[in-house]
Amino acid sequence: MSTDTATLPVGRYAYDEVDRTFLSQRVAQFREQVGRRVAGELTEDEFKPLRLMNGLYLQLHAYMLRVAVPYGMMGSDQMRELAHIARTYDRDYGHFTTRQNIQFNWIRLEDTPDILERLAGVNMHAIQTSGNCIRNVTCDEFAGAAADELLDPRIHAEILRQWSTLHPEFSFLPRKFKIAISGSPHDRVAARFHDIGLVAHPGPDGRAVFDVFVGGGLGRTPIIGVKLRDNLPEEDLLAYLEAVVRVYNAYGRRDNMYKARIKILVQALGVDQFREKVDAEFAQMNRADYRLDPAIVEGIRARFGIPALDAPANAADRLDSDRKADARFDRWVRTNTHAHRHEGFISAVVSIKPDGGIPGDVTADQMDLIAALADDFSFGEIRVTHMQNVVLGHVRKDQLRDLWLRLEGAGLGTPNIGLVGDIIACPGLDYCALANARSIPIAQKLSARFANPELQENIGTLRINISGCINACGHHHAGHIGILGVDKRGEEFFQLTLGGSAENDVAIGQIIGPALPEDETVDAIARLIDTYLVLRNEGEAFIDTYRRLGAASFKDAVYAPA
């Protein structure tokens, strides 16, 4: 497929010399730091923050390298490089995370400078994937494609990336800081579960304005973010965010890491007082210095490639007839696609949740295949979703079946997006040094048990989220059914929460009762789902029935004697 601007990567920002120089300096710096560590010139305590600033964690079995995928967007060239890294330096696979990043689980410290150099060769890095800084900004996986979108948020996501990268004031915040941005009225980024959530829409003069949410988050203390202000003008975006983060940096707690996130500060001060402090900081800033001039925005926008959305006039008809001719394809289209702003195109979601598989794990061969499919069907553009899946954003409707056939052939055609099988699970105790319990085996057992696609469609929309500890990387509080691993004297138990949601109907899941032993958890969830099927009214999803009837109706099912 051709593009309007052949030299610019579609859907993401094209690095220039400044970006490339910065990355190569950074790799050289880390190479030297690794050398000093290996030579014994740096202690582990001195070295640890340096490696973490380059995305290198020490996990349960080995080092883990978390590579940033800024706002979830990457190109086929980058995916191929990730495949190469998986094959050469890891055990042939990678893991997509809920922050739209990718992790490699078996990395050697001594290989890391070479890996970072290879990544820099395709304009990738591992910066802002760890540490108490502003982390990689997340974004709507259907950005620039969705029919319901008001404004493409990726331009401002890139501006935030450049603003926050190595920001000298914000490199040592009280805790990590996460920003999400959406340009659609339908919240697909969990804006109110972020330190700052931005919802962009066009203002009266056509330039972007932002609704700003602050102080949301999951983890030990789940809190829904509050609206800090409406209609923030684009030109004040950086000044205002700078003011918010400054207030947090000044007043956030550093004495207790469990109380250090901005959500605790907003709760402690109350939103009105927090807003007063932000407004006072904002008022005393030299706004001219921070003004985000439309020329800067347009300069960044000009470095994004735009897809040439030409489809034959009969593309939609062709898709209709393809669907009528093949019931399995029709089902996949129902579950795994999203409406595109152009009538001849559609967005396809590639499920990285095969029946009984490990959510988010993708082999090197699959990465290469996804890269090839992106080249053949979607302008070389790939999106990683916070649900740990992959999106090809701009697929011609008349070519969708060809895409599906190739996905099917590679075991990537599972029709389960948004259904029981589309489970979000953190790495848990199989990999994570902080875990209490294993997340992945529970996800595998549930997805195998509910593998039947008719059953899944009959059950309908159901979000299951699993975290291996209270850090909540699996966003369990935001799941319709949330599962949290807890440790009881070295053995695994699982606590269920019900009724959470990260979307427009945002809610925090509530604990239903005592934690269950590992071998009873999957059965209990199966009984819970059976109960919903009995109790639901026509057209109700699980979350609707739960909200109508409350937890009591489900409690007996969970704790029924085996």
Q: Which residues bind another protein (CB under 8 A)?
A: 18, 21-22, 25-26, 29, 37-38, 40, 44, 48-49, 52, 57-63, 91, 106-110, 130-132, 159, 162-163, 165-169, 171-175, 238, 254, 257, 260, 289-293, 296, 358, 429-431, 433-435, 437-438, 440-441, 444, 487, 490-492
Looking at beta carbons only, is 257 or 533 nearer to another protein?
A: 257
Q: Which does 492 bind (CB under 5 to 8 A by kind): another protein, ligand SF4, none?
A: another protein
Q: Which does 292 bind (CB under 5 to 8 A by kind): another protein, ligand SF4, none?
A: another protein
Looking at beta carbons only, is 76 or 98 nearer to another protein?
A: 98
**At 85, which amino acid appears?**
I
Q: In what order do the strands lie in the sheet with 138-139?
A: 138-139, 179-182, 196-202, 208-214, 226-233
**At 528, which amino acid appears?**
L
Looking at beta carbons only, is 459 or 469 nearer to ligand SF4?
A: 469
**For 550, what's the count of Cα atoms within 13 Å in the CB-facing half-sphere?**
1
Helix (H, G, I), strand (E, B), or coil: what is residue 327?
helix
Q: Which does 238 bind (CB under 5 to 8 A by kind): ligand SF4, another protein, none?
A: another protein
Residue entry with tokens 């304009």? 123
Q: Which does 425 bind (CB under 5 to 8 A by kind): another protein, ligand SF4, none?
A: none
| Whole-number Cα distances in Å, 561 to 47, 261, 488 | 52, 41, 21
Least Å distance between CB 561 and another protein?
25
Nearest CA among 552, 351, 358 for reference residue 474:
358
Least Å distance between CB 436 and ligand SF4?
7
Tokens for 188?
């697909």
Residue entry with tokens 């055609």? 413
Spatial contact of 426 and 473, defined as CB atoms under 8 Å apart: yes
Q: Which does 472 bind (CB under 5 to 8 A by kind): another protein, ligand SF4, none?
A: ligand SF4
Burial of 478 (0-12, 13-18, 19+ CB in 10 A): buried
Q: Which does 353 bind (CB under 5 to 8 A by kind): ligand SF4, another protein, none?
A: none
Q: Which does 467 bind (CB under 5 to 8 A by kind): another protein, ligand SF4, none?
A: ligand SF4
Looking at beta carbons only, is 159 or 529 nearer to another protein?
A: 159
Q: Which does 559 bind (CB under 5 to 8 A by kind): another protein, ligand SF4, none?
A: none
Pick left, alpha or beta for residue 479 (phi over 0 → left; psi -120 to 50 → alpha; otherwise beta): beta
**Under 8 Å CB-to-CB from 185, ≥6 apart: which residues?**
148, 150, 199, 201, 504
Chain residues binding ligand SF4 by CB under 6 A are 426-428, 432, 434-435, 467-469, 471-474
Least Å distance between CB 134 and another protein?
12
Least Å distance between CB 107 and another protein?
7
Looking at beta carbons only, is 61 or 334 nearer to another protein?
A: 61
Q: Which does 11 bind (CB under 5 to 8 A by kind): another protein, ligand SF4, none?
A: none
Least Å distance between CB 253 and another protein?
10
Looking at beta carbons only, is 365 or 430 nearer to another protein?
A: 430
Least Å distance between CB 467 and ligand SF4?
4
Least Å distance between CB 57 and another protein?
6
Q: Which does 62 bind (CB under 5 to 8 A by kind): ligand SF4, another protein, none?
A: another protein
Question: Is the CA virtual torsion 505, 508, 509, 512 positive or negative?
Answer: negative
Q: At what angle do helices 327-336 and 400-409 cross, to 10 degrees?
A: 100
Least Å distance between CB 241 and ligand SF4?
26
Q: Which run of H or of E encompasses 104?
A: strand 102-107
Distance from C-alpha of 241 to C-alpha of 412, rounded to nearest angstrom:
40
**Under 8 Å CB-to-CB from 439, ≥6 apart: which residues?**
425, 426, 427, 428, 429, 430, 466, 467, 468, 474, 483, 485
Helix (H, G, I), strand (E, B), or coil: what is residue 101?
coil
Looking at beta carbons only, is 138 or 165 nearer to another protein?
A: 165
Distance from C-alpha of 123 to C-alpha of 229, rounded to nearest angstrom:
35
Least Å distance between CB 376 and another protein?
31
Least Å distance between CB 79 and another protein?
23
Q: Which does 48 bind (CB under 5 to 8 A by kind): another protein, ligand SF4, none?
A: another protein
Q: In what order do the strands lie in the sheet with 63-67?
A: 56-58, 63-67, 102-107, 93-96, 361-363
Looking at beta carbons only, is 70 or 509 nearer to another protein?
A: 70
Looking at beta carbons only, is 461 or 471 nearer to ligand SF4?
A: 471
Least Å distance between CB 435 and ligand SF4?
3
Least Å distance between CB 482 and ligand SF4?
12
Looking at beta carbons only, is 52 or 551 nearer to ligand SF4?
A: 52
Q: Which does 468 bind (CB under 5 to 8 A by kind): ligand SF4, another protein, none?
A: ligand SF4
Tokens for 537?
């009214």
Looking at beta carbons only, is 69 or 483 nearer to ligand SF4?
A: 483
Helix (H, G, I), strand (E, B), or coil: what is residue 381?
strand
Nearest CA among 386, 394, 382, 381 for reference residue 341:
394
Looking at beta carbons only, is 399 or 444 nearer to another protein?
A: 444
**Under 8 Å CB-to-CB from 383, ≥6 apart: which residues?**
11, 72, 73, 74, 100, 141, 142, 143, 390, 391, 392, 393
